[in-house]
Amino acid sequence: MARTIDQANAEACGELWTADPILVDIQSVGEAVPGFTPTTILTSGPRQEWGEYEGGQRAAIIGGALFEGLAKDEDEAAALIVRGDIKVAPCHEYDCVGSLAGIYTASMPVLIVDNANGKKNRAFCNFYEGTNPRRLNYGVYDEGVRERLLHVQNTVAPVVRDAVRISGGIRLKPIMQRALHMGDELHSRNTAASLLFTRELIPSLLQLAEKERERVDQAVRALTADHYFFLRLSMATAKAMADAAHGVEGSTVVTAMSFNCRQFAIRVSGLGDEWYTGPLPVVEASLFAGHTPEEITWMGGESTIIETIGLGGFAQAAAFPLQAYQGGSPEVMIANNKKMYDIVVGEHPDFKIPFFGYRGTPSGIDLRKVLETGTAPIMNIGIAGRNGGQIGAGVVRAHLGCFESASSAYRHKYKRIKP
Amino acid sequence: MARTIDQANAEACGELWTADPILVDIQSVGEAVPGFTPTTILTSGPRQEWGEYEGGQRAAIIGGALFEGLAKDEDEAAALIVRGDIKVAPCHEYDCVGSLAGIYTASMPVLIVDNANGKKNRAFCNFYEGTNPRRLNYGVYDEGVRERLLHVQNTVAPVVRDAVRISGGIRLKPIMQRALHMGDELHSRNTAASLLFTRELIPSLLQLAEKERERVDQAVRALTADHYFFLRLSMATAKAMADAAHGVEGSTVVTAMSFNCRQFAIRVSGLGDEWYTGPLPVVEASLFAGHTPEEITWMGGESTIIETIGLGGFAQAAAFPLQAYQGGSPEVMIANNKKMYDIVVGEHPDFKIPFFGYRGTPSGIDLRKVLETGTAPIMNIGIAGRNGGQIGAGVVRAHLGCFESASSAYRHKYKRIKP
């Protein structure tokens, strides 16, 4: 029966590897995301009761309610959530993927990414808030955060939207392929991808500039000011690819990894929409000046969808410059990256690592191999501080608990198959 | 007396390392380059008699005369050169630096780069001809080459000129610092630098687009179509930096390396404008499909000014993607790069290699150390074919002959100093 699992995994990885995600449009969350109501708020990680959200993730959800004008203060927001008049739900249940706390409210703009191949599925991600480490997705909401969110909503997103519409859609995989050859691993480093994406938009931006240069100029600043504009496109692409691989009967391929403030969780292709949860991972962090390890806190995160498809921590040997951001050394990055080949179905046919002689990245995490080898997926993430805001970046290793839960569910569901 | 040489070299490298090259304008060669007459043609490498120019370099010089309208056919061009009515001269004598055959004629546009620090010297480089491997600087002149040169002259250069003028000048060193962290070594790979340079121009390009979008659009295509637009800026920057280090009494720092079709040559900071010549180097090439090693030919080249300042072959561990272009493996690139630390004065304070834990690139080639260690500088270059055009790329090792000639000249000039 092992043949059957391998066949199922080959099918899942076939979908994963041939997906062709295209940025087709930008709309408001309320317009674009099916089932989203004016009083819905999405957040990262597996579903929890409201009382279980704590710290920065709770602050971010309440901040979302205030930003959206659903409540006049924190107390009212919390009361409305308790009453069910504001509905808090997981991003993944709405084809969205959350960066850190991952807050989506109805008026926010979302990147709409369609997989032009296979399943023709659609994924969403909202916009990067900008360079300032105080951000809603890092559990902060104040006048500055609000202004920056409105700048994204009223200036950056409309220009990018108009440019994308003029362009007829932007294929994202070729940008990511090239970026891997330019020092990006597409999770904690998106420097080249942001520039390459901007380059694709330039002809359309020039056309727009004939009418409204000032706004286009500001949008270009947002696109290229630092290393992370493309992160949300990388996440939406990864979500579109991973979802393409989801739902293959008998497959042990992991199709999502995500956090909330209390737990780490995975989904598995052959196990439906269930999340298998376990303890939070161990983190090796490099903190920005002035911060201490005691401040490190968890407030959710679904950007690890990028590792799920074989980038980020699974492609870190493409991104030695990351040492300066998240610590480590080239030697450790190489060793960590190589180890990931032990737990995957195969090598990505399009995403290649120059330092490994253009070997494909390890892709298609196989639940069986994680447990057989005892090797946990490695993920490159941003680190949030106790008082909100980003305080650093680092490398985390998943706890094996959720893989064990998934394996036992697999044995239960597929009684005649030994996973 | 060894102390004196070390002091002289520290002074030379001080100029090299603190130079701050800025792209200040684009003008025609005739307007910009002091002493250039309408009938001057510049070519790469140390001065030769006309009869010594052969193959592609001779073809390129004659092509330049035809392009400039100085002669109606090849025979007339050759006759005018023999009569001295067309004057052929080395690029370096005019503060220019030649890519491969390195042809400059009066109407061509040049990038004007000023060193804002120290010596306040100026350097020039003309424009990249574009992706097509058939180029004047690779010894080809036909209707297609002429059209592409005119496209650069009439569309690309004027737009970039206007954008540079609006911007008030573009600092080039910060672009190169960032590009080193994005897979470029700034000689055979300028992918990231071309995008980063374009990004700097975007605000000015948007302003220009209000009036003439079509031309701006075409210029952006030229800037970002492939990996090499920035090469000429990298060359002009390197020339500005190396010239800043030139002319320091007693210094054994190499300040230029260049080829013509017959010889390799160097200049040394403490030895004035004399070129010390020796045999052509040995090449390890990776050829484009359909070409054979028998076709490889020499037609000059001064882009090795980039290695002279500590980039290109001296920074190849920043650019593992280059395997795909010029062959080799990461292991060989690392070993070759490390070896260069044996022959230099020190580590560049601003140009860093992420793979070496952000160690500075080896910079300031010391004539003494080359001869003591018998280690020749390694250079990343484009390869020309016997019938003209680019047929590949590769790695070359300088022959030690010219270093020996320079050393003996040094002993002769500085009688009381043992080099």
Give how far Cα B402 sits from Cα of A177, B252, B376, Å: 43, 13, 11
Element (H, E) at A346: strand A344-353
Distance from CA of A66 to the nearest CA of B (A): 35
Q: CB distance from B209 to chain A under 8 Å?
A: yes
B220 contact residues in A (CB cutoff 8 A): 199, 202-203, 206
Output the CA angle B290-B314-B6, nearest 5 degrees.
150
B338 contact residues in A (CB cutoff 8 A): none
Domain boundary among B204, B234, B264: B234
Residue scoring higher pLDDT (A418 or A90): A90
Q: CB distance from B159 to chain A under 8 Å?
A: no
Q: How confident is the model at residue A223 (pLDDT cuts 50, 70, 90)?
A: confident
Q: CB distance from B226 to chain A under 8 Å?
A: no
Residues B89 and B173 in one domain: yes
The DSSP code for A343 is G
A320 contact residues in B (CB cutoff 8 A): 354-355
Q: Residues A41-50: what's their mean pLDDT?
A: 95
Q: CB distance from A196 to chain B under 8 Å?
A: yes
Task: Please name the residues between 349 and 408 in chain B that touch chain A, using a CB distance below 8 Å.
Answer: 354-358
Residue B5 included in any domain: no
Distance from CA of A186 to the nearest CA of B (A): 13
In terms of CA atoms, which chain A residue is nearest residue B329?
Answer: A357
On the question of pLDDT at A249 being above 60, the answer is yes
Q: Which domain holds residue B279?
A: 246-413
Helix ranges (DSSP H) in A133-266: 143-151, 157-167, 173-179, 191-224, 231-244
Contact A268, A252 (CB under 8 A): yes
Residue A376 included in any domain: yes
Residue A372 included in any domain: yes
Q: CB distance from A69 to chain B under 8 Å?
A: no
Residue B14 included in any domain: no
CB contact (8 A) between residue B213 and residue A206: yes
Contact A210, A344 (CB under 8 A): no
For residues A125 and B272, give the distance between their C-alpha atoms in angstroms, rounded to a whole number.
Answer: 61
Q: Dihedrals φ, ψ of B286, to 5°?
A: -115, 115
Q: CB distance from A225 to chain B under 8 Å?
A: no
For residues A279 and A300, give the distance between their C-alpha atoms in angstroms, rounded to a whole number.
Answer: 13
CATH code where residue A256 lies: 3.90.1700.10
Q: Dihedrals φ, ψ of B63, to 5°?
A: -60, -40
pLDDT at B121: 94
CB contact (8 A) between residue A199 and residue B195: yes
A186 contact residues in B (CB cutoff 8 A): none
Distance from CA of A192 to the nearest CA of B (A): 7
Distance from CA of A51 to the nearest CA of B (A): 45
For residues A141 and A67, give the distance between their C-alpha atoms in angstroms, rounded to a whole number.
Answer: 8
> How many interface pairs between A and B have CB atoms less than 8 angstroms apart?
100
On the question of pLDDT at A261 being above 90, the answer is yes
CB contact (8 A) between residue B217 and residue A203: yes
How many whole angstroms from its chain centre is CA B26?
17
Q: Residue holding tokens 């002074």?
A: B11
Give how far Cα B78 sits from Cα of B66, B82, B156, Å: 10, 6, 31
Could you give the 3-state DSSP secondary structure of residue B394?
strand
Q: Residue holding tokens 């995160």?
A: A301
Residue B348 included in any domain: yes
Domain boundary among B234, B269, B294: B234
Could you give the 3-state DSSP secondary structure of residue A10?
helix
Residues B151 and B196 in one domain: yes
Residues B52 and B161 in one domain: yes
On the question of pLDDT at A418 being above 60, the answer is no
Contact B262, B356 (CB under 8 A): no
Q: CB distance from B203 to chain A under 8 Å?
A: yes
Residues B115 and B168 in one domain: yes
For residues B282 and B296, give the distance between their C-alpha atoms in angstroms, rounded to a whole number.
Answer: 11
Q: CB distance from A222 to chain B under 8 Å?
A: no
Domain boundary among B180, B213, B234: B234
- Each residue's pLDDT tens digit, A194-213: 999 999 999 999 999 988 88
For residues B57 and B63, give the distance between their C-alpha atoms in angstroms, rounded to a whole number.
Answer: 10
Task: Please name the residues between 296 and 325 in chain B that touch chain A, using a CB distance below 8 Å.
Answer: 320-321, 323-324
Residues B71 and B146 in one domain: yes
Residues B224 and B253 in one domain: no
- Each residue's pLDDT tens digit, A63-107: 999 999 999 999 999 999 999 999 999 999 999 999 999 999 999
> How many structural domains is chain B composed of?
2
C-beta neighbour count of B165 within 10 angstroms: 13
On the question of pLDDT at A412 being above 60, the answer is yes
On the question of pLDDT at A3 being above 70, the answer is no
A337 contact residues in B (CB cutoff 8 A): none
Intra-chain end-to-end CA distance of chain B, in Å: 9
Residue B72 included in any domain: yes
B357 contact residues in A (CB cutoff 8 A): 323, 329-330
Residues B128 and B219 in one domain: yes
Residues B224 and B258 in one domain: no
CB contact (8 A) between residue B183 and residue A324: no
Would you put residue A364 in left (φ > 0), alpha (ψ -120 to 50) or beta? left
B356 contact residues in A (CB cutoff 8 A): 330
CB contact (8 A) between residue B195 and residue A195: yes
Mutation target to probe the B interface, by most B beta carbons within 10 A, among A159, A194, A195 is A195
CATH code where residue B45 lies: 3.90.1710.10
For residues B232 and B157, give the distance between their C-alpha atoms in angstroms, rounded to a whole number.
Answer: 13
Q: CB distance from A279 to chain B under 8 Å?
A: no
Q: Both tokens of residue A143? A: 């006048």
Residue A183 has its nearest CB partner, among B181, B203, B217, at: B181
For residues A232 and A126, give the distance between their C-alpha atoms in angstroms, rounded to a whole number.
Answer: 7
Residues B255 and B179 in one domain: no
For residues B277 and B266, give the distance between their C-alpha atoms in angstroms, rounded to a whole number.
Answer: 7
Q: Are strands B276-278 and B264-268 parallel, antiparallel or unpaired?
A: antiparallel
Residue B9 included in any domain: no
Q: CB distance from A329 to chain B under 8 Å?
A: yes
Residues B254 and B383 in one domain: yes
From first to last of its 419 residues, chain B has per-residue pLDDT tens of: 456 899 999 999 999 999 999 999 999 999 999 999 999 999 999 999 999 999 999 999 999 999 999 999 999 999 999 999 999 999 999 999 999 999 999 999 999 999 999 999 999 999 999 889 899 999 999 999 999 999 999 999 999 999 999 999 999 999 999 999 999 999 989 999 999 999 999 999 999 998 888 888 888 888 887 778 899 999 999 999 999 999 999 999 999 999 999 999 999 999 999 999 999 998 888 999 999 999 999 999 999 999 999 999 999 999 999 988 888 899 999 999 999 999 999 999 999 999 999 999 999 999 999 999 999 999 999 999 998 899 999 999 999 999 999 999 999 999 855 55
Q: CB distance from B196 to chain A under 8 Å?
A: yes
Q: Residue holding tokens 């650069």?
A: B152
For residues A1 and B302, give the distance between their C-alpha atoms in angstroms, rounded to a whole number.
Answer: 64
Q: CB distance from A338 to chain B under 8 Å?
A: no
In terms of CA atoms, which chain A residue is nearest residue B331?
Answer: A355
Please give the model's pTM, rounded to 2 decimal places.
0.89
Q: CB distance from B16 to chain A under 8 Å?
A: no
| Short-list A105, A91, A98, A109, CA closest to A138 | A98
Residue A329 has its nearest CB partner, among B182, B220, B357, at: B357
For residues B42 and B103, give the distance between their C-alpha atoms in angstroms, rounded to a whole number.
Answer: 5
Contact A220, A212 (CB under 8 A): no
Residue B1 included in any domain: no
For residues A42 and A92, give the distance between their C-alpha atoms in angstroms, rounded to a whole number.
Answer: 9
How many whole angstroms from its chain centre is CA B303?
2
Q: How many residues does chain B have?
A: 419
Q: Both tokens of residue A374? A: 């005892």
In terms of CA atoms, which chain A residue is nearest residue B333?
Answer: A355
